[in-house]
Homo-oligomer: A and B are copies of this chain.
Amino acid sequence: MDVFEAVAEPNRRHLISLLAERERTAGELVDSLPALTQPAVSRHLRVLRETGLVEVRPDGQRRIYALKPDGLQRVDDWITPYRRFWRDHLDALQQHLENE
Contacts and interface: CB of A to CB of B under 8 A. Distances in A.
Contact of A72 (B2, B16, B82): B82
A36 interface: no
A67 B81 CA distance: 13
When all copies of this chain in the complex are counted, the total is: 2
Contact of A76 (B71, B79, B89): B79
The A interface, classified by DSSP as helix, strand, loop or mixed, is: helix
Contact of A85 (B8, B20, B82, B85): B20
A85 B72 CA distance: 9
Residue with the highest number of chain B CB atoms closer than 10 Å, among A2, A75, A82, A85: A82
Contacts of A16: 82
A7 B70 CA distance: 20
Interface string A32-72: 00000000000000000000000000000000000101111
